[in-house]
Amino acid sequence: MLVLSLIGATEEESDVPVIYLYDMGRQESRALDNTIGASSLFWIDAETLGFMIEVQGHNYRLMQICLPTGEVTPLLLKA
């Protein structure tokens, strides 16, 4: 069973949140790439997680991550 958690620190930057995936069966966790600064997590479907990330100052972008592949893409594209 996998569990997601958002923590308030990374190895790179002590006060920036990152999304971690915790595998309860293996009792180990790993940071999901390209999720540093993530906030406001929500499920899109069983394998996709949505989140917001700060991109410039107080500007935010809505993103999604496919958990099986780790691919991070924008959720909404500008027209």
Please determine, for residue 59, whether its predicted confidence score (pLDDT) is greater than 80: yes
Mean pLDDT of the 53-79 span: 84
Least confident range from 1-5, 44-48, 57-61: namely 1-5
As given in the structure block, the two tokens for residue 45 are 């479907």
In angstroms, the Cα distances linking 78 to 4, 26, 61, 62, 75 are 29, 40, 11, 11, 10
Mean pLDDT of the 26-43 span: 85
Nearest to 32 by CA among 21, 17, 47, 43: 21
Q: Give the Cβ contact number of residue 46 at 10 Å.
A: 6
pTM summary value = 0.73
